[in-house]
Amino acid sequence: MQIKVDCPQCGGKIIFDEEIEVVRCPYCSSTNQISGKSGLPRFMFPPRWSFEESRHRFSTLLSSKKSLRLREKGLHLVYGPYWRTKGMVFHWALGKKHSISKIGTRSWDDAKELKTKHFDFTFPAYREPDLGLDTLGVRPAAIPLQLFHHSRLSGTELVLSPEVSLQEAVDHSNNFLTFGFSDRNLKVELEDTQLVGEVYSLVYFPFWVLEVGANGQNSLLIIDGVANVVRKSIWEQDFAAYFRETASSKWASNFGDLRLIPFTCPVCGWDLPFTPDSKTHICPTCTRAWAEHRGSYQEVDYHLVGLPDEFDKPIHYMPFWDLKTHIRTSQGVLKTKSDLRKLIPALPTGKGRGNGSDSIRFLIPAFRIKNLKSLSKLAHIFCLSPPSQKLRAKENLKKEIFQGVSLAGQEAEQLAQVVLISMVPKYHRRARNLLKDSEFESGRPRLVYYPFYRKGIYLREANSNHAIQFATVVLNSHS
């Protein structure tokens, strides 16, 4: 989805992808942080045609169908609000899988499958009346959206109120997360679904409502204002009656506003390095890290892992969330790595340190990885055998390359649950039972940058050589 905003410096129109955190104006080159993305932003589709254009085209249409003897009685622009839910779905299913061997014998074997998808789901946030459009389909991906604001309206439009609350929208979306994942050959005994990085927003969609009269009766044609096709015809009804009962919303004031704030370090005033898709920015001058929160910058604590001795390859600092976790199960709380062996018998407890009393920690990649299974795999290996965390001082950072943080800290815990199941052996029935009603309790996620270098088709962590395929990683687009 692309979003269109006005540059606060020069007023030029800036169009950017919704994943972007920092934008540069193509007209005046100023850079700005986008604030308010997580606070229920509202967007609108502008109608393809203006009011005058529409009136002209619809009256031409009516006069071409003379036999119907329809006369135009009025043209109205109506905006219907739609909820949009976006995120990444990780779905684990553990159970028995039916298979037929080459010689025709049937068997049910232990199975464990991870299914993933990008989730982009829209549905009406109004209940009444029916406008004949249940989903916006791919349109949010195809047409740039504008921020919804009353100043963009002429005042003659009817804007339907959202009646479906955020909680109802969350519940409704959750019903569709695993759509298309079912597998008749898998008897599921344990499943876990996580929607990670979810963003909820409201999108106002335009409809032209053409009121026509014939034989003393009024009827309504509801026309999609973007595709310009008739969505619904309602006979023997007039506009005022059909749109009479649109309840006003009690919680409309909870919506956030998207706006642009200057992209400079709040302490030393220098421009921050331009990494458009990062949620965290490290000021090379004073070495503090910042993340936008409700319209201003908040300092983020971070750590830099050092390099092995005499390491001289060029490196990228890749961000991870380090999460200290307790797992609450029906048979007590798992706190240490040796407790965790109840779920993962093969878990090493750490070289040399090892009395098994180390706390349970998950290291979740925070940089953008295109392939969701590669993401889960890298997190798995980092948790199973964490690389050395000998830290280096935060000095001389001007030449270092920091990759962007695209996963927020709060989302790391959901991914940790995905990773935990990835580590449980598929035949381990006791672990399945233990996991069934388990709950995670994590401390504050800690941001840690590990040094990676490129070798062949891989990016490798310099201390451990843990690798991820280079092609699946989205590196900063500097400019």
Q: Return the bridge partners of 171, or none.
A: none
CB of 12 to Zn ion, least distance (A): 4
Q: Whole-number minimum distance, CB 284 to Zn ion, in Å?
A: 8
* CA pair distance 18, 31, nearest whole angstrom: 16
Look at residue 22 and give its three-state secondary structure: strand
The one-letter code for the residue type at 348 is P
Q: Which is nearer to Zn ion, 265 or 459 (CB)?
A: 265
Instruction: Please identify, using beta-carbon distances, which residue of 26 and 354 lies nearer to Zn ion.
Output: 26
Separation CA 76–CA 421 (nearest Å): 54
> φ, ψ for residue 29 (rounded to 5)?
65, 10
261 to 173, 231, 270: CA distances (angstroms): 32, 40, 14
> Rounded to whole angstroms, how far apart are CA atoms 83 and 79?
13
CB of 287 to Zn ion, least distance (A): 7
Closer of 285 and 433 to Zn ion (Cβ): 285
Give whichever of 7 and 196 is closer to Zn ion, judged by the CB atom: 7
Residue whose entry in the numeric block shows the structure tokens 């068997």: 107
User: Residue 473 Cβ, how far from Zn ion at the closest point, in Å?
Assistant: 27
Judged by the rule CB under 5 A, the positions of this chain that interact with Zn ion are 7, 9-10, 12, 25, 27-28, 265, 267-268, 283, 285-286
Looking at the Cβ atoms of 7 and 378, the one nearer to Zn ion is: 7
Rounded to an integer, what distance in angstroms lies between the CA atom of residue 49 and that of residue 56? Answer: 10
**CB of 9 or CB of 161, closer to Zn ion:** 9
Best CA proximity match to 400, nearest among 389, 392, 408:
392
Task: Provide the minimum distance between the beta carbon of 13 and Zn ion in the complex, in angstroms, as a whole number.
Answer: 9
Nearer to Zn ion, 138 or 268 (CB): 268
In terms of C-beta distances under 8 Å and separation of at least 24 residues, what long-range contacts does 307-311 make, across chains too? 307/392, 307/451, 307/462, 307/463, 308/462, 308/463, 311/451, 311/462
Cα angle 449, 455, 459 (rounded to 5 degrees) comes to 35
To Zn ion, the closest distance from the beta carbon of 272 in angstroms equals: 8
Encoded tokens for 350: 């750490």
Q: Sort 86 into a burial class: Cβ within 10 Å, 0-12 / 13-18 / 19+.
A: buried
The dihedral of CA 367, 420, 446, 296: what is its sign? positive
- What is the nearest approach in angstroms of Zn ion to the Cβ of residue 5? 10
Question: Smallest distance from the beta carbon of 8 to Zn ion, in angstroms?
Answer: 8
Shortest distance (Å) from residue 37 CB to Zn ion = 20
The answer to whether the Cα torsion of 121, 125, 127, 132 is positive or negative is negative
Of 272 and 431, nearer to Zn ion (C-beta) is 272
Burial of 416 (0-12, 13-18, 19+ CB in 10 A): buried
For 69, counting Cβ atoms within 10 Å of its Cβ (0-12 exposed, 13-18 middle, 19+ buried), the class is exposed
| SS3 (DSSP) at 427 | coil
Residue number with CB closer to Zn ion (9 or 59): 9
In the bound state with Zn ion, the residue whose beta carbon lies nearer, of 15 and 28, is 28
Closest contact distance (angstroms) between CB of 398 and Zn ion is: 12
Residue 394 beta carbon to Zn ion: minimum distance, rounded to whole angstroms = 12
Nearest to 303 by CA among 324, 317, 292: 317
Q: 285 or 389: whose CB is closer to Zn ion?
A: 285
Q: Between the CA of residue 291 and those of 42, 146, 263, 266, 413, what are the distances in Å?
A: 22, 24, 11, 11, 19
Q: Which is nearer to Zn ion, 266 or 356 (CB)?
A: 266
Smallest gap from Cβ 475 to Zn ion, in A, equals 23
